[in-house]
Structures are given as structure tokens and as C-alpha cells.
Amino acid sequence: MKIFLLGGTKDSTNIIRHIKEKYDAYILTTTTTEYGSRLARESGSDDTIARPLLKNEITDMIVNDNFDLLIDATHPFASHITQTSASIARELKIPYIRFERPTTNLENIDTSHIHYINSFDDAGKLIEIEFPKGNVLHFAGANTMENILKHVSAKRFYPRILKVESSLEKCEILGIEPSHIIAMTGAASLEENIELIEKYDAKVMITKESGEVGGVIEKIQAANHKDVAVIMIQRPKIDDLNKNDIVSNLNELDIKLKNFF
């Protein structure tokens, strides 16, 4: 079994380890960064590609190298690649699985500090109007900074990002001082989030609704503890996905995989 895995997430490394432990499979994992590629290799991926791929590149690889299965385990906010991968699977008539991490269960969490927003542009506008003073912690990735900074001064903006060349270049272009960049190596703990709020005297925190794997609960709890507003960007909805292709945990993944092994 040859598996083409769209990765770059904690979910994808868990999937790699799970498959390699339980099944006889070759896995090629694609990520957008060398950091993600290294984590995939360390998790057991047989090969990796560390750059964004165009639709025709993915299609050609699947066809030319005779892949049997396409798994999309990209981030819940990477809606474009999910739409693209589902389209490729339909066109090639190749089995397809979308691993969609569950939404965050906030049933027992104080949500009074959360402001739910549908886009980063709207998040920037909200901060400009409702929170014109105080520093802003950005926990939503380098690719989303520009829309915020249309409305918020870089002087009060502190992004937590991977220290990779592409992200650092974005910071430079957007006028973000190196001293404002917070190096990221994974989801932060409650204590680490509290320390960041205190260190940078933050009044606002921006995060995606990226699920418990993304450390959302720890961010909310830290904000509650320090009386900081949370601007939470809600997940994009992808309407053209077949619900039967979606799994949300490794047990559900196994049920799908047993059809192929």
C-alpha cells in the first residue's frame, strides 16, 4: 500500500506513527516547511517533500508513482488544500480520507473573554475599534498576520511563529521588529501562555479554533486568568467534502484503512 499524505500537523505525525506500527505501508508526506518535513521523517515517513505543491504536481505524483490512497491531514484552516485534494481524489478515482480534528469542547470552560470572528480582516477591525490600546499576541500563524496589520500597528503586535525563513521574511516585510517575534516549537502550556501575556503586557490574544491539539483550551484559560480578550477565528466550512470521507480519530481511521489492507 502506497499512501500520499498531506501533512504538516500534529495529527499527521500521529497518523504516520500509527500506520507504520499497524500496517505494511509506504508513506510519502508533503509539508510546506522543512521543520514539518523533519517531524514527519522522525515519525516514520518513508519520504517527504518540504514545499507547497500545485494541484498538477500532486496529481502527477499520484499517477506516476502509483499511489493507492490519498490522506489529507492538513490544518483545519488550510481549506484550499483540502478542497484541492478532494478534487484530485474525485478526478483520479483514488480512495480519499480527510482527517478532521474535532472542534474544541468548551462545555466546562469560561468563554466570557472570547469574541468569535469569521475572518482575520474582521479580527483586525474588531481590535482597532474595541481594543485600541495594549499589546496583541498573535497565535494564528505567519500567513495570517497581514490582514491583522491592516488595522493594528506593528508596534503593539507580537506573533508567535515558527522561526523559519519564510515566516521571518513576512515579519520583515510587515515591519515587525525582531524583538517582537516569539519563537514557536509546538503548542504552549497554560503556564507558558500566562508567561507570554505577562512578558509582553498583552491585552488581546488572537487564535484559530484549531482544536485541543492546537492548545486552544490552554490559551483560553491563560486569557481568563489574566483578564485578556480572546479573538477566536472560526473554522472555514468546506461544503464539497463527502462526510463519509471524514474521520476525526485514529479508531475511525482504522475502520477506513481496513478496507484497503
CATH code for the domain in which residue 173 is found:
3.40.50.20
* pTM as predicted: 0.75
Residues 101 and 215: their CA atoms lie apart, in Å, by 12
* Co-location of 143 and 228 in the same domain: yes
Same domain, 49 and 80: yes
- 109 in any annotated domain: no
Residue 107 lies inside a defined structural domain of this protein: no
- In this predicted structure, what is the pLDDT of residue 35? 87
| 149/184 same-domain check | yes
pLDDT tens sequence across 210-246:
777 778 999 999 999 999 999 999 988 877 788 899 9
| The pLDDT value given to residue 2 | 97
Please report whether residue 56 resides in a domain: yes
Shared-domain flag, residues 189 and 243:
no
| Within-domain flag for 210 | yes
Tell me the pLDDT band of 93, cut-offs 50, 70 and 90: very high
Q: Quick one: pLDDT at residue 76?
A: 83
CATH number assigned to the domain comprising residue 53: 3.40.50.720
pLDDT in tens, 20-78: 999 999 999 999 888 899 999 999 999 999 999 999 999 999 999 999 999 999 988 88
Q: Is the Cβ–Cβ distance between 131 and 123 less than 8 Å?
A: no
Clarify whether residues 191 and 241 are in a common domain.
no
Q: What percent of the chain has pLDDT over 70?
A: 100
Please give the residue range of the domain that contains residue 192. Answer: 114-233
Q: Which residues pair with 71 in a beta bridge?
A: 5, 97
Q: Tell me what pLDDT residue 146 has.
A: 96
Over residues 194-216, mean pLDDT: 90
Q: Whole-angstrom Cα distance, residue 202 to residue 223?
A: 9
Same domain, 228 and 121: yes
27 falls within a domain:
yes
pLDDT score for 123: 96
Q: Encode pLDDT of 111-169 as tens digits.
A: 999 999 999 999 999 999 999 999 999 999 898 999 999 999 999 999 999 888 889 99
Q: Is residue 12 part of a domain?
A: yes
Which of 179, 171, 215 shows the shortest CA–CA distance to 194? 215
Return the CA Rg of the chain.
Answer: 19
Q: Based on the structure, what is the number of domains in the chain?
A: 2
d(Cα 205, Cα 83) in Å, to the nearest integer?
A: 29
DSSP track, 23-57 = S--EEEEEESSHHHHHHHHHHT-SEEEES---HHH
Q: Does the pLDDT value for residue 108 go beyond 90?
A: no
What's the pLDDT score for residue 23?
A: 94
Q: In this structure, are 13 and 75 located in the same domain?
A: yes
Residue 107 pLDDT > 90, yes or no?
Answer: no
